[in-house]
Amino acid sequence: MAISTTTASLLDEGMRLHQAGHFGDAEVAYLHLLKADPNHAQALNLLGVLYLTGERPKDAVKWLARRLKRAPEDDLARLNLGKALLASGDAFKAAQTLRPLCDASPQHVDAVICLARAEQKRGRMADAEMLLKELAELVPDNPEVLLELANHHIATGEPVSAEKLFRHIVGLEPEDINNRCNLAATLQSMHRTDEAAEILNQALALDPEDYRTRFLLAMNTGMKGDFASAATEMAALVDERPDNLATHVHFAEILSLDSRSEEAGAHLASLIDSGVDDPDIWHMYGVICLQLGLTSKAISAHRRSLRLNPESGTGWRHLAALKTFTDRDPDLTRMLEISKRRTLGSDSQMHIDFAIAKAFDDLRRPARAFSHLAAANKANRATFSFDIAAHENFIDDLIAATGTPLPLPENTAPGPVFIVGMPRSGTTLAEQILASHPKVAAGGELMNLRNAVAEIVPDYPESITTDQASRIARAYTERTRRYYDGADWLTDKLPENALRCGVIAQAFPNARIIHCSRDPLDIGLSCYQRLFTGLQPFAYDLEELGRYLVAHNRLMTHWRKVLPGRIIDFDYQSVIDDQEGETRRLLTFVGLDWHDGCLDFHKTSRPVRTASATQVRQPLYRSSLQRWKLYETQLEPMIAILRAAGQLDE
Averaged pLDDT, 608-628: 64
> Terminus-to-terminus CA distance in the chain, angstroms?
88
The whole-number pLDDT of residue 341 equals 81
Average pLDDT value for residue range 590-611: 78
Per-residue pLDDT tens over the stretch 335-358? 999 998 877 778 889 999 999 999
Q: Are 13 and 33 in contact (CB under 8 A)?
A: no
Q: In this predicted model, which residue has the larger pLDDT, 471 or 463?
A: 471
- List beta partners, residue 417: 491, 512
Query: Tens of pLDDT along 261-307?
Result: 999 999 999 999 999 999 999 999 999 999 898 999 999 999 999 99
User: Is 447:401 a contact under the CB 8 Å cutoff?
Assistant: no
For the domain made up of 388-443+480-644, the CATH class stated in words is alpha beta
Given this model, what pLDDT does residue 282 score?
Answer: 98
**Rounded to whole angstroms, how far apart are CA atoms 8 and 18?**
15
| 119-130 confidence digits (pLDDT tens) | 988 888 889 999
CA atoms within 13 A on the CB side of 555: 28
What is the per-residue pLDDT across 521-544, written as a single tens digit (0 to 9) for each? 999 999 999 999 877 999 999 999
Looking at residue 620, its pLDDT comes to 66
d(CA 288, CA 265): 6
pLDDT tens by residue, 559-589: 999 999 899 999 999 999 999 999 999 999 9
d(CA 447, CA 591): 25
Residue 602's pLDDT band, with cuts at 50, 70 and 90, is confident
Which pLDDT score, from 0 to 100, does residue 1 have? 45
Would the CA dihedral through 84, 85, 91, 94 be positive or negative? negative
Percent of the chain residues past pLDDT 90, beyond the cut: 70
Confidence check: pLDDT of 613 > 80 = no
Starting from the edge strand earliest in sequence, which strands make up the sheet with 489-492, in order? 440-442, 489-492, 417-421, 512-517, 567-571
Asked whether residue 374 carries a pLDDT value surpassing 90, the answer given is yes
The angle formed by the CA atoms of residues 511, 408 and 493, to the nearest 5 degrees, is 25
Residues 549, 541: Cα–Cα separation, whole Å = 12
Q: What are phi and psi of 322, to 5 degrees?
A: -100, 5
Residue 7 has what pLDDT?
A: 80
Confidence of residue 233 (pLDDT cuts 50, 70, 90): very high
When the pLDDT of each residue in the chain is averaged and rounded to a whole number, the result is: 91
3-state secondary structure of 441: strand
Please report the pLDDT score of residue 518 as a whole number.
Answer: 93
- Residue 607, pLDDT > 80, answer no
Q: Find the helix or strand (DSSP H, E) in which 568 lies.
A: strand 567-571
What angle do helix axes 159-172 and 177-189 make, rounded to 10 degrees?
160
Helix (H) or strand (E) holding 490, with range, is: strand 489-492
Question: What pLDDT is stored for residue 538 in this prediction?
Answer: 96
Residue 489 is given by DSSP the state: E
Q: How confident is the model at residue 408 (pLDDT cuts 50, 70, 90)?
A: low
CA–CA separation, 111 vs 103, rounded Å?
10
> What is residue 304's predicted lDDT score, i.e. its pLDDT?
97
DSSP-derived 3-state class of residue 293: coil
Mean pLDDT of 34-50: 88
For residues 296-322, one letter each, b for 16 or more C-beta atoms within 10 angstroms of the residue's C-beta and e for the rest, the string is ebbbebbbbbbebbebbbbbbbbbbbb
Per-residue pLDDT for 467 more than 50?
A: yes
If one compares 157 and 140, the residue with the highest pLDDT of the two is 140
Bridge partners of residue 567, in order along the sequence: 513
User: How much is the average pLDDT of 3-16?
Assistant: 78
Round to whole Å and give the CA distance between 141 and 149.
12
In 3D, which of 434, 417, 419, 384 has the Cα closest to residue 536?
384
State how far the Cα of 187 lies from the Cα of 123, in Å rounded to an integer. Answer: 26
Residue-wise burial string across 197-211, b where 16 or more C-beta atoms lie within 10 A, e elsewhere:
bebbebbbeeeeebe
Strands (E), 349-443: 417-421, 440-442
Residue 124 CB neighbours (<10 A) = 18
The SS3 of residue 137 is helix
- Quote the pLDDT of residue 2: 45
Give the range among 90-104, 333-347, 573-587, 627-641 with minimum mean pLDDT.
333-347
Going by their DSSP bridges, the two strands 512-517 and 489-492 should be labelled as: unpaired
Which residues lie closer than 8 Å to 459 by C-beta, 6 or more apart?
none
Main-chain phi, psi angles of 554, to 5 degrees: -65, -40
Residue 315 has pLDDT above 70, yes or no: yes
Contacts of 220 (CB under 8 A, 6+ apart): 184, 188, 193, 196, 197, 200
| Spatial separation of the C-alpha atoms in residues 594 and 439, rounded to whole Å | 11
Confidence (pLDDT) at 517: 95
Which pLDDT score, from 0 to 100, does residue 3 have? 45
Residue 515 has a pLDDT of 97
pLDDT at residue number 610: 55
Q: What is the dihedral of CA 465, 469, 470, 472, to 10 degrees?
A: 140
Confidence check: pLDDT of 188 > 70? yes
- Mean pLDDT along residues 90-116: 95
DSSP secondary-structure letter at 404? Answer: S
In SS3 terms, 603-650 reads as: HCCCCCCCCCCCHHHCCCCCCCCCHHHHHCCCCHHHHHHHHHCCCCCC
